Amino acid sequence: MSIIVTGHDFNLQTAHTSYLMGVLENGEMGQYYYGPRLGDKVNYADFRHREFRSVTPTLTEAQADVTMSMIKQEYPSYGHGDFRYPAYQVTYDNGARISEFEYQDYEIEDGKSKLGDLPSASAAADDQHVQTLHVHLLEKQSGLQLTLNYSVFEDEDMIVRSATFANTGTTDLKLNAALSASLDLSDDQYDMVQLSGAWARERHLYRRPLTRGVQAISSTRNASSAQQSPFLALARKQTTEQAGDVYGFNLEYSGNFLAQVEVDSYNVTRVTMGINPFEFGWQLKPRTRFQTPEVMMTFANNGFNGMSHNFHRFLTNHLISQRWVKKPRPVLINNWEATYFDFNEQKLLDIAKSAKSLGIELFVLDDGWFGKRNDDHTSLGDWQVNLAKLPNGLSGLANKVHDLGLQFGLWFEPEMISKESKLYIKHPEWTIHVPDRRMTPARNQFVLDFSRQEVVDYLFDQIAAAIRETHLDYIKWDMNRHITEMFSLALPAEQQEELPHRYILGVYQLYERLTSAFPNVLFESCSSGGGRFDAGMLYYAPQTWTSDDTDAIERLKIQWGTSMIYPLSTMGAHVSAVPNHQDRRVTSLATRADVAYFGVLGYELDISKMAPAEKATVVEQIKFYKQYRELFQQGTFIRLQSPYDGDGNVTSWMVVSGDQTTAIAGRYQVLAEPNPGYRRLKFAGLNPDLQYTIEGVDGQFSGQQLMSAGIFIPALFDERADNKMHTFDFDAKLYVIKAV
Helix axes 612-627, 589-596, angle to 10 degrees: 20
Is the separation of the CB atoms in 688 and 660 below 8 Å?
no
245 classed as catalytic: no
Backbone phi and psi for residue 427, each to the nearest 5 degrees, phi listed first: -135, 70
Closest CA relative to residue 508, chosen from 536, 487, 545, 542: 536
d(CA 301, CA 733): 31
Is the separation of the CB atoms in 358 and 352 below 8 Å?
no
Question: Strand, helix or coil at 257?
Answer: strand
- Which DSSP helix (H) or strand (E) runs through 179? strand 173-185
d(CA 190, CA 211): 9
d(CA 457, CA 513): 10
How long, in residues, is the chain? 740
d(CA 74, CA 243): 28
Q: Which of the following is catalytic: 534, 548, 549, 731?
A: 548
- Which DSSP helix (H) or strand (E) runs through 338? helix 336-339
Residues in CB range of 141: below 8 A, 6 or more apart: 92, 100
Closest CA relative to residue 734, chosen from 631, 658, 646: 631
Is the separation of the CB atoms in 171 and 163 below 8 Å?
no
How crowded is the C-beta side of 585, counted as CA atoms within 13 Å? Answer: 18
188 classed as catalytic: no
Q: Which of the following is catalytic: 478, 549, 551, 731?
A: 478
Q: What CA–CA distances, in Å, run from 471 to 64, 323, 367, 514, 544?
A: 71, 18, 19, 14, 22
Residues in CB range of 720: below 8 A, 6 or more apart: none
Beta strands of 14-63 (E only): which ranges?
A: 17-23, 29-36
Residues in CB range of 593: below 8 A, 6 or more apart: 575, 601, 621, 625
Backbone phi and psi for residue 508, each to the nearest 5 degrees, phi listed first: -65, -40
Sign of CA dihedral 610, 611, 616, 618: negative
Is the separation of the CB atoms in 191 and 209 below 8 Å?
yes
Tell me how far apart the terminal alpha carbons of the chain are, to the nearest angstrom. Answer: 40
Residues in CB range of 664: below 8 A, 6 or more apart: 597, 628, 631, 632, 654, 655, 734, 735, 736, 737
What positions carry a catalytic annotation? Answer: 478, 548
